[in-house]
Structure formats: C-alpha cells, structure tokens
Amino acid sequence: MSELPRLLLVGPDRHGVAIYARQLAAAVGRLDAAAPAPLPVDPLAPEAAAFTLRGTRGAPLPGSPVHLHATDRILGATPELAADWVEYLAGTAPVTVTLHDLPQPSDGVRNLPRRAESYRRIAGASSGVVFNSAHERALFAEYIGEEPPGSTVIPLPVVVPVAAPRQGRLALATTLRDIAVLGFLYPGKGHAEVLGAILELRAGPSQVRSDLGLLALGAVSPGSEHELTALRARAEASDIRFMVTGFLADAELERRARLAAVPVAAHRHVSASGSIGSWISAGRRPLVAASRYVDEMARLRPGTMTVYPEGGLAEAIRVALADPASTWLA
C-alpha cells in the first residue's frame, strides 16, 4: 500500500484554495486518524528559498510524499517564483498537486504565457496531477501543453444542504430584495453584470419593483479595490442599493446566503467554482452563466442550478423573483 501524502497548507487563511485545503485536511483526519498531520508552509517567507520539509515537531522528513493545492498566486510573488518553489520542493520529496485557477485568455496577453509556463513547470515537477474539472483539464491542453500523464479529475465537493423550513424561506425571498453574488469581489466575478441586469429590469415592461439591491457576500480581492470603487459609483448614480459584507465565516456566509432573494453566480471566466458549491450547500439553486464548466457541473449535479444564456441574466432574475421557490433546492 502506498504511503499517504502529507498535505501542505499554503496561502493566506482566507484564500479560497487555502480554505479548501484545510477543509480537505479536516475531512481526511476524521476518516483516518493515522493520516499524516497537515503541514502549514509559507513559500513567500524569506526562509522559503532554503525550504526543508519538516514535521510539526521540527523533525526532517526527507523523501516523504506531499500533496499541494496549487495556484501560482499563493505559491510565489510571480508565476516564475511559484514554479521555482515547487521544483525545489520536488527535489526534496515526491510531490503531487491539485491545480487551481488554470491559465486562460482572461489573464491577458502578458500574463497568460507567464502563467501557462509556470503551470507547465509545476505539472512537470509533480508525480501526479489532479484537476477540479474536465474543463480545467481541457484548459491545460489548450493553453499549456500535453495533458500530464496519469492526471485525473476530482470535482470540487458540495456539502449536502440541510433544508430550510419551506414557509420561512419563501417569506424571506419575497420580502428581502437583494440579488446576491457570493465570493471574492474582483473584475469579471459578475457584480457588474447584476447591476446591469437590475437597470435593465427597471427600464423594461416587467413591472419589477425598484427596491432591488446588489449584495456582495464576501470580501474585495486584494488589488481589486478599483472594481469596488467603480461598482459603488455606478450603483449610487443609478440609486441602487449596494452592500459588500466583507469576509464571512462559514456559518454566517450560509445564513446570509439563505436570506438573498436571488442567488447568482455570473462569473465570466470561471474554471472551477467554489461559489456555485457554496450556494448549493446553503440549499439554494443559483442562477449561473452558461459556460463549458457550468455545462459539466449541470450534468454532474442535475437540478441544482438554473443556467441562463449570454445576455439572459435580467430575464432569469425576473423569473426567479416571480417564482421564489425556484431558487431553493427541494
């Protein structure tokens, strides 16, 4: 029987990939008390250049296999440094990786080739590669190179939701008028699209009430403060209520997700989405923008999301407001 790898915990505590890694570590610990304890590691620390894999008591563990949830943005200050660190790590121990946030054209003409080369090097240094979706595996083939030998797809998990009392949830959905986007706020996440949809509904013949607001359930992603400024200015100019909650712990995030009138996942460049899973875990059936990834998830978890076509968000919101039960899982 092969040795179970030690999971390395990398990245800021509130980063989605770091949160997911900790959740997996906790789940593995519950299933197998003998599993190696996860090991927090900071590749951005000054001493990382002389990194030596060590156990929780400081004892060296040369050659012990490790697993890493990898995105270049938490592994190094640049894509190149992220790949340097994984290659160094692979020289001390067998490494397997789960790749997140695969490079794609939305990275821009400058960053796409840099990120693609970083991911090529990370995969090349690893003895096994996991993707979170077939879509992400396809992105690797399209923008990085040949699929890594022996790679596999393990979809992001969804916690089975606990049903909310039916009458209570419908009452909330008809009195609270927030159209909510869940997760970090950054360009392309879908907040701007929701604002545009609210304006479209106001201007149309559908008699939608004017008290619709945009609720951002999550914090502003570092470096995206300009997007928040632009959204606030647009909302104020249009007299649309706009609120950003900041970071929410799991229990509070679920509570707030259940209060939203309409749950939305309108990410334009999604590769694998924890936000969709969070909506489902809260018992909601979100409106999600059609894409190759969303089509894959709709086949995997039929009936858990309402997929709308490009340009169809306003109409999807109108239908959801008219039928609040459609935004809840049975």
Domains parsed from the chain with CATH numbers:
6-153 (3.40.50), 166-327 (3.40.50.2000)
Mean pLDDT calculated for residue range 62-77: 87
Q: What are the tens digits of pLDDT across the range 213-249?
A: 999 999 998 889 999 999 999 999 999 999 999 999 9
Q: At what angle do helices 191-203 and 225-237 cross, to 10 degrees?
A: 10
Helical (H) or strand (E) element with 130: strand 128-131
Q: Is 319 exposed, middle or buried (0-12, 13-18, 19+ CB in 10 A)?
A: middle
Residue 200 pLDDT? 93
Q: Report the Cα 11 to chain-centroid distance in Å.
A: 14
Helical H segments across the chain, by residue range: 16-31, 72-75, 79-90, 108-125, 134-143, 166-175, 191-203, 225-237, 250-259, 274-281, 292-300, 313-322
Mean pLDDT calculated for residue range 269-289: 89
Residue 46 pLDDT? 45
pLDDT band with cut points at 50, 70 and 90 for residue 211: confident
Q: Share the mean pLDDT of the chain.
A: 87
pLDDT band with cut points at 50, 70 and 90 for residue 171: very low
Residue 54 pLDDT? 47
- Whether 262 contacts 123, CB under 8 Å: no
Give the separation between CA 98 and CA 151, rounded to whole angstroms: 10
Residues with Cβ within 8 Å of 89's Cβ and at least 6 positions away in sequence, in order, are 51, 53, 66, 68, 95, 125
